[in-house]
């Protein structure tokens, strides 16, 4: 049976081998808040449906999941129902603000955010940096529409519930659960349109969901969630930060254009391994740095670039963050400081 493993996992949970804490006050069950934000996981050939309907379909199609699904109380917040590629910075802040609020409620075991695959890694990193709780917050998605052949979303959702209920998930920051793997919101990247699309670069996944258990093999050591200095309750707008790509014969005027209109920071998707810009771009970027615009170097593919830069360099090392995640961190950093040394500290710690 497709979900026999999950059934066995929850036999163990109910037997006390994996203790469940944080029960709801009313039903005596642990409460899982679901923040629904659209995406393929709630999309059918006839259009998007409420996540409650997705769960009902799982119950109806896979009776072996009843023990799991009946052991918890779901409370759904239908926050956004759009294609994930249409989400804005304001939407990401709203998702993080909502997750941070509801996860603090008594009896709540954790939060599941249903999300489109296009922006899963972005949402995961925002949650990793902004949710002030050690309780599990899990982002889950689907590569294939609900109700279609080999739909992966149903299995991903079931696994996400198991991860929220696992005591080993506590304190590990925001997690992305797909294809029976557990990724950190900091490192996860989408690499294809297949169910195995989500990987975590050179440092690897945090754990896996087995037939009878949730297994973690490592944990994030960089600052996140309860140790984060960023406060979602006071962040109302994200500063403008642009990304420029390093390539041969790059026109520096494109950087000048990117720096117009109130841009407060530049991310360079640079040459591996230092994240260096092309030679034609360097002088313009140095001019911006001299004017107080932080310039952060990242590497193509997310290779660690925390090695000594050339003498006189005025840039900030983005460590192993890929460009679009370094942009998130720089935006949040700029809500607190514009000092390059402080921004470098933030990149070193997060």
The catalytic residues are 40
DSSP H or E segment with residue 239:
none
How many Cα neighbours within 13 Å face the side chain of 231? 3
Angle formed at CA 150 by CA 149 and CA 153, multiple of 5 degrees: 115
Burial of 101 (0-12, 13-18, 19+ CB in 10 A): middle
Give me Rg for the CA atoms of the chain.
21
Tokens of 107: 């009896």
Using DSSP bridges, classify how beta strands 198-199 and 189-190 pair: parallel, antiparallel or unpaired.
Answer: antiparallel
How far is Cα 201 from Cα 190, in angstroms, rounded to an integer?
10
- From residue 56, how far is each of 51, 53, 59, 74, 269 by CA, in Å? 9, 5, 5, 12, 44
Q: What 8-state DSSP symbol labels residue 317?
A: E
Identify the bridge partners of residue 296 per DSSP, sorted by sequence position. Answer: 267, 316
Residue indicated by tokens 């910075």: 89
* 158, 3 contact by CB (below 8 A): yes
Q: Hey, which bits of the chain come out as E strands? A: 31-38, 43-44, 47-48, 73-82, 108-114, 137-140, 174-178, 181-184, 189-190, 198-199, 207-209, 214-216, 241-245, 265-270, 295-299, 316-317
């Amino acid at each position: 049976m497709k979900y026999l493993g999950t059934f066995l996992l929850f036999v163990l949970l109910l037997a006390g081998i994996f203790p469940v804490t944080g029960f709801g006050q009313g039903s005596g069950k642990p409460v899982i808040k679901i923040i629904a934000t659209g995406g393929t996981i709630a999309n059918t050939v006839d259009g998007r449906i409420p996540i409650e309907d997705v769960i009902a379909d799982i119950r109806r199609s896979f009776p072996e999941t009843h023990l799991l699904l009946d052991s918890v109380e779901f409370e759904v917040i239908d926050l956004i129902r759009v294609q994930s590629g249409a989400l804005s910075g304001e939407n990401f802040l709203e998702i993080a603000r909502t997750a941070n609020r509801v996860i603090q409620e008594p009896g709540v075991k954790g939060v599941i955010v249903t999300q489109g695959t296009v922006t899963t890694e972005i949402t995961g990193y925002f949650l990793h940096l902004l949710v002030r709780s050690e309780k599990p917050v899990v982002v889950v998605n689907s590569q294939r529409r609900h109700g279609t052949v080999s739909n992966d979303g149903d299995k991903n959702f079931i696994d996400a519930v198991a991860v929220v209920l696992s005591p080993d998930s506590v304190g590990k920051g925001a997690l992305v659960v797909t294809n029976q793997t557990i990724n950190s919101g900091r490192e996860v990247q989408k690499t294809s349109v297949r169910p195995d699309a989500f990987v975590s670069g050179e440092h690897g996944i945090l754990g896996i969901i087995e037939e009878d258990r949730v297994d973690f093999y490592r944990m994030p050591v960089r600052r996140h969630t309860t140790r984060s200095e960023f406060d979602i309750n006071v962040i109302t707008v994200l500063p403008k930060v642009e990304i420029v790509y390093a390539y041969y014969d790059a026109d520096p005027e494109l950087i000048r254009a990117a720096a117009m209109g109130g841009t407060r920071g530049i991310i360079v998707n640079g040459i591996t391994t230092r994240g260096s810009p092309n030679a034609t771009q360097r002088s313009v970027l140095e001019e911006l740095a001299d004017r107080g615009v932080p310039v952060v170097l990242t590497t193509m593919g997310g290779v660690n670039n925390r090695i000594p830069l050339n003498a006189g360099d005025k840039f900030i090392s983005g460590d192993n963050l890929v460009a679009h995640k370094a942009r998130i961190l720089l935006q949040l950093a700029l809500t607190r400081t514009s000092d390059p040394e402080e921004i470098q500290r933030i990149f070193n710690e997060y």
